[in-house]
Structure 1
Amino acid sequence: MGDWWHRNIVEPGKLPLLLALTAFVLTFVITRVITRLIRAGKGPFGNVQAGGVHIHHVVPGVVLTVIGGFAAVAGGRHGFGSGLAAVVFGIGAGLVLDEFALILHLDDVYWSEAGRKSVEVVVVTAALVGLLLAGFTPFGVDNMSQAELQDRANVIATVAGNFLFSLLALAKGKARLAIFGVIVPLVAVVGAIRLARPGSFWARRFYTNRPRARAKARLRAYRHDRRWSGPRTTLQNWIGGQPDPPGS
């Protein structure tokens, strides 16, 4: 175990990334527990007020993210300072992304339906960082041999090709596949070759005069959403809490 830890975490300089991810996930979990207790009126916790203004936890999150980010840039990838900076950055990022929906809508939508976006962004972020820790690098460069890496043309072609697949997946309205495709290129290929979602840039541009393609895209999107919206909503509620009913 010690050899694996040194070979895969310490030597490649991944320890700060691991510390940041751990701090990020723990901060999100602890924050959600506390906010759910406040919502239920249990425990010693309460909203932070200053001069009649509700101070959202995104505020200290931004401060910690800035401090941790600059400290990490200044401190390198090794040593106690870099580890501490990574933890500070992870805590700040956890606080910020827990209120991602508030930033997106510029409104307190924490317990509304729109607030689910925060949970989704946190889960996607944790998954992407986990993939980086597992050894994946953006645009599939990790799949190339040492000889291929030394050939600049091969590297450029690999990065450009995988970037194109991610861009196509995004244009087809498949943001999750596009994002994960940056780390795992084959994921973006799936999104790039399948039908676009209705309302996406690709559908508006190329399906306007193709009624059969439009109908097929709508049917596929309906079936996909019917199959996965329920489990996704259940998981988001379990992680982040049940949102308030509309109009409450």
Structure 2
Amino acid sequence: MGHWLERNIIEPGKLPLLLALTAFVLTFAITRAITRLIHAGKGPFGNVRAGGLHIHHVVPGVVLTVVGGFGALVSRQGPGSGFFAVLFGMGAGLVLDEFALILHLADVYWTDEGRKSVEVVVLTAALVGLVLAGFAPFGVNDLSGDEVQGRGSVIATVGVNFLFSLLALSKGKARTAIFGAIVPLVAMVGAIRLARPGSPWARRFYRRRPRARARAGLRSYHHDRRWAGLSRRAQDLIGGRPDPHSTGLPDHR
């Protein structure tokens, strides 16, 4: 483990990225735990207010992200780079935890629309983890022949997988395309299977094929019925269950 850390994290200069990712995940987890306690009316926590205004945690998140980002640019690889990386990770965790609020310009934290925040956080953590795990095989010196061949294979695999992800995206499978960038088999399956109705692929290639359009619609319906419940349960486990019939009105937390 120590050798892997030295070769793949410290030597390529990815230690600040590891610190930022750790701070990002911990900040999101702690923030969700606190907001769930507030929402349930438990614990010593409460909403932050100033002059009757509800201060969402995206506000300090923006401040930390700006300070951490500019600080990291100034410090580069200096001793302060790790400190500013942690600040940036904390700020990004706070900001993306309220991504849905920014997207909708409304307090939708405990609504179905608020689930987008959980999706974005999970995706961000997965992509950064992908880089840290060595799938961005750059910056390591003195590679052996086997290591060069292995990393070259990784680059080729990532390139081909990227094409599959683009094809899946053209078929209207945005989540499959995004997570397919992490798991190659997912992108391949998304690229091979029928396109979703209304996608650019379906409009282009199913226009004169009514049977294909019907099959695509039926498959999309069954797919959504099969996986929607599982996806919602996973999001509820991570971020908490939204309020039933919530309309996203201000200060409903």
Q: TM-score, normalised by structure 2?
A: 0.83
**Unpaired stretches in structure 1, ≥5 consecutive residues:** 139-144
Seq. identity, % = 75
Residue 135 of structure 1 aligns to a residue whose secondary structure is: helix
For residue 5 of structure 1, report the CA deviation from its aligned partner: 2.4
CA distance in 1, matches of 2:136, 2:16: 16
Number of positions where the alignment pairs a residue of Structure 1 with one of Structure 2: 237
Residue 135 of structure 2 aligns to a residue whose secondary structure is: coil
Residue 45 of structure 2 aligns to a residue whose secondary structure is: coil
Q: 1:81-160 maps to which residues of 2 (within 5 A)?
A: 81-137=80-136
1:141 corresponds to = none
CA distance in 2, matches of 1:105, 1:243: 16
1:13 corresponds to = 13
For residue 233 of structure 1, report the CA deviation from its aligned partner: 1.0
RMSD (CA atoms): 2.7
CA distance in 1, matches of 2:57, 2:79: 27
Q: TM-score, normalised by structure 1?
A: 0.84
**Unpaired stretches in structure 2, ≥5 consecutive residues:** 138-146, 248-253
The worse-fitting range, judged by mean Cα deviation, of 24-33 and 178-187 is: 178-187
Contact 1:65 1:93 in 2 (8 A): yes
Q: Which has the higher contact order (CA 8 A, sep 6+)?
A: 2
CA distance in 2, matches of 1:182, 1:242: 28
2:196 corresponds to = 197
CA distance in 1, matches of 2:173, 2:192: 11
Q: 1:203 to 1:164 in 2, by over 3 A?
A: same
Q: Deviations over 1:146-172 (max 9, x none)?
A: 59x99xxxx9x9987655433222121
Residue 92 of structure 1 aligns to a residue whose secondary structure is: helix
- Asked if residue 33 in structure 1 is aligned to residue 36 in structure 2, the reply is no
For residue 194 of structure 1, report the CA deviation from its aligned partner: 2.1
For residue 241 of structure 1, report the CA deviation from its aligned partner: 0.7
Give the counterpart letter for 1:26 in structure 2. Answer: L
For residue 108 of structure 1, report the CA deviation from its aligned partner: 0.6
